[in-house]
């Protein structure tokens, strides 16, 4: 298993620079007769969504003559935000839907994951890319980098963004202090229960893409469990070999208060627990120190983004168990 993860990491980790030749990318896209929808789930992001849409228009304008735009449809799925998100997005030329009006027979939308699931009912592209709409430093690299392997690497059906996550607090910036739920919940959980996925640097990134057929063939968990569920379900559907990640540089995200992260962590844990039960993995908890262990390795696999690129680090994490002392003293 670790050998597979290491090999996967080597073969399926890309850099956005590899896809920066927009003419080449655009030609491949039109030769394959592909269209792209970009979906931005949005809740009170009036201050950032306009800039993102603008960046994508600019990217489309940069495509060379004759190959057409890279993004054919820009979709904003809005949580009936009260800050004017929908108006801003519409004014900049995006197609805007209220999450509650899409597939309304399912009642009001349950958070981000539900909004994403509903958006598939109006996405027309053969390829669908999701991106968070609360990003301040959104750059075109996010779009062509994430779509790149999907368009140009045969066999790749799912691409996840990877990046460094700075943590800004008042005046100080800690370069890799962000992404706390990912580091403290998702990566340890994957190491124990889904080691196939430990090579992903940002398994919860909101920037990812797949063919629409794949997205339409898997269930979506609602709320903040959505990214975790998609990772597990895509893995089951197409296997690790059809999944890839791409280094997009650095990405600043709006930080959530710690107490909200606690509930987000719980969503991740519940998603993993539900799938483990369904996959029969609950009784196969990986205990690396036990001889009958399903996975014969004791390493903690830690995928990280660094200034020198993506790295997969291995740590030996022993968990030694001492017997109750009373038993030991009885013997002597």
Ligand X SMILES: Nc1nc2c(ncn2[C@@H]2O[C@H](COP(=O)(O)OP(=O)(O)O)[C@@H](O)[C@H]2O)c(=O)[nH]1
Query: Residues interacting with ligand X, by CB under 6 A?
Result: 41-43, 45, 77-79, 99, 111-112, 115, 132-134, 206, 253-254, 256
Nearer to ligand X, 41 or 161 (CB): 41
Per-residue tokens: 187: 């990566």
Nearer to ligand X, 77 or 151 (CB): 77
Q: Min. distance of Cβ 6 from ligand X in angstroms?
A: 28
Question: Which residues sit at the interface with Mg ion, rule CB under 5 A?
Answer: 134, 253-254
Nearer to ligand X, 5 or 143 (CB): 143
Q: Min. distance of Cβ 76 from ligand X in angstroms?
A: 8
Q: Which residues contact 247 (CB under 8 A, 6 or more apart)?
A: 13, 14, 15, 16, 145, 162, 163, 201, 305, 309, 310
Nearer to ligand X, 178 or 195 (CB): 178
Q: Which residues contact 101 (CB under 8 A, 6 or more apart)?
A: none
| C-alpha to C-alpha distance for 248 and 179, rounded to whole angstroms | 15
Q: Min. distance of Cβ 309 from ligand X in angstroms?
A: 23
| C-alpha to C-alpha distance for 161 and 146, rounded to whole angstroms | 6
Binding at 77: pick from Mg ion, ligand X, none (beta carbon under 5-8 Å per type): ligand X
Q: Min. distance of Cβ 206 from ligand X in angstroms?
A: 5
Binding at 271: pick from Mg ion, ligand X, none (beta carbon under 5-8 Å per type): none
Q: Min. distance of Cβ 254 from Mg ion in angstroms?
A: 5
Nearer to ligand X, 227 or 247 (CB): 227
Q: Which residue has the tokens 């992903």?
A: 200
The C-alpha R_g of the chain, in whole angstroms, comes to 21
Query: Per residue, what are the HEC states of 50-95?
Result: HHHHHHHHHHHHHCCCCCCCCCCEEEEEECCCCCCHHHHHHHCCCE
Binding at 196: pick from ligand X, Mg ion, none (beta carbon under 5-8 Å per type): none
Binding at 41: pick from Mg ion, ligand X, none (beta carbon under 5-8 Å per type): ligand X
Per-residue tokens: 249: 């540089």
């Amino acid at each position: 298993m670790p050998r597979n993860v290491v090999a996967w990491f080597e073969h399926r980790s890309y850099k956005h620079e590899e896809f920066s030749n927009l003419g080449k990318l655009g030609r491949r896209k039109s030769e394959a007769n592909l269209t792209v929808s970009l979906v931005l789930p949005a809740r009170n992001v009036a201050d950032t969504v306009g800039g993102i849409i603008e960046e994508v228009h600019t990217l489309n304008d940069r495509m060379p003559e004759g190959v057409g735009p890279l993004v054919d449809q820009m979709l904003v799925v809005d949580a009936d935000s009260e800050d004017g998100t929908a108006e801003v997005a519409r004014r900049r030329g995006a197609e805007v839907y209220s999450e509650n009006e899409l597939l309304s027979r399912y009642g009001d939308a349950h958070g981000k994951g539900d909004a994403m699931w509903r958006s598939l009912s109006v996405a027309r592209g053969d390829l669908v890319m999701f991106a968070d709409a609360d990003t301040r430093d959104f750059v075109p690299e996010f779009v062509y980098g994430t779509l790149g392997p999907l368009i140009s690497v045969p066999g790749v059906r799912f691409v996840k963004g990877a990046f460094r996550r700075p943590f800004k607090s008042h005046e100080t910036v800690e370069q890799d202090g962000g992404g706390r739920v990912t580091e403290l919940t998702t990566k340890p959980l994957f190491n124990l229960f889904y080691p196939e996925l430990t090579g992903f640097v940002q398994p919860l990134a909101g920037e990812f893409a797949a063919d629409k057929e794949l997205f339409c063939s898997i269930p979506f968990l609602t709320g903040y469990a959505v990214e975790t569920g998609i990772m597990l379900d895509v893995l089951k559907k197409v296997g690790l070999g059809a999944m890839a990640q791409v280094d997009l540089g650095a990405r600043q995200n709006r930080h959530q208060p710690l107490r909200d992260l606690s509930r987000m962590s719980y969503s991740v844990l519940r998603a993993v627990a539900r799938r483990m039960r369904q996959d029969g993995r609950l009784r196969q908890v990986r205990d690396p120190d036990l001889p009958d262990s399903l996975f014969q390795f004791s390493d903690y696999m830690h995928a990280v983004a660094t200034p020198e690129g993506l790295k997969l680090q291995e740590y030996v994490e022993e968990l030694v168990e001492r017997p109750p002392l009373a038993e030991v003293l009885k013997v002597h």
